[in-house]
Amino acid sequence: GEDVEQSLFLSVREGDSSVINCTYTDSSSTYLYWYKQEPGAGLQLLTYIFSNMDMKQDQRLTVLLNKKDKHLSLRIADTQTGDSAIYFCAERDRDDKIIFGKGTRLHILP
Amino acid sequence: KAGVTQTPRYLIKTRGQQVTLSCSPISGHRSVSWYQQTPGQGLQFLFEYFSETQRNKGNFPGRFSGRQFSNSRSEMNVSTLELGDSALYLCASSLNVAGGSSYNEQFFGPGTRLTVL
């Protein structure tokens, strides 16, 4: 079945850029998403990219999509303490189901 | 506009019992999806309802069931609870179920934390 993989942890110094990577298996994915989950809260959509795009930028966030390698990344510029959270990569598969990765916990170092 | 609400927020049950969780979507949203979140497995899709019909289903046993009412509110039920059912159950609503041109943002509720003893 479809699978979405991402590393579980990332530590970044405040002010540096964070890059969270994700790979997926379903080549017919239409949309790919990045969600953020803060402690005790549900998920919040950060950004998304349509499968025919290579890059999308939204303020401090840059999403890169390599469809050939089925690789998605999220870059957060000038990482702040408020960015500390779990980040989920997700794809919408051919049946319109949203498949999530297990999440990357981003830890900000002072 | 009020967000997605889930009740109850916390629940403690014992093995063998059954439980019903409730989700009220954002006003106007017709699609409701349910997810189980655990530390080991991450977020796993349970099912999706649209206009009172189950449109998609994940790989969970028949003990997990759901329904949607005419006002789009949804409930999920777990019968014969097992220890492994302890998890955060998240509900998400979206405006419609659409392929193609719509990115179909899902809005998540805060979840119901179920503990099975």
Q: Residue A87's pLDDT is what?
A: 97
Going from the C-alpha of A107 to that of each of A4, A6, A79, A81, B28, the distances in angstroms are 21, 15, 10, 8, 37
Residue B82 distance to chain A (closest CA, Å): 22
Chain A contact present for B33, CB below 8 A: yes
Query: A100 to chain B: which residues are within 8 Å by CB?
Result: 35, 42-45
- Measured between beta carbons, which residues in chain B are less than 8 angstroms from residue A44? 108
Q: Which residues of B touch A31 (CB under 8 A)?
A: 103-104
Does the distance separating the beta carbons of B56 and A31 come in below 8 Å? no
- Cβ atoms B44, B61 nearer than 8 A: no
Give pLDDT tens digits for B17-47: 999 999 999 998 989 999 999 988 888 999 9
What residue ranges in B5-109 does DSSP mark as E strands? 5-7, 10-13, 19-24, 31-38, 42-50, 53-57, 64-68, 74-78, 87-94, 107-108
Mean predicted confidence (pLDDT) in B58-81: 96
Residue B85: helix, strand or coil by DSSP? helix
Name the token pair of B111: 């979840």
A8 Cβ under 8 Å from any chain B Cβ? no
Instruction: Mark yes or no for CB contact A42/B110 under 8 Å.
Output: yes
Residue B115 pLDDT grade (very low, low, confident, very high; cuts 50, 70, 90): very high
The pLDDT, as a whole number, for residue A105 is 95
Place of tokens 């990332």: A10
Confidence tier at B97 by pLDDT (50, 70, 90): low
A41's CB contacts (< 8 A; 6+ apart) are B110
Q: What is the pLDDT along chain A (110 residues), one digit of tens a residue?
A: 668 999 999 999 999 999 999 999 888 888 999 999 998 788 999 999 998 899 999 999 999 999 999 999 999 999 999 999 999 999 988 777 888 999 999 999 98
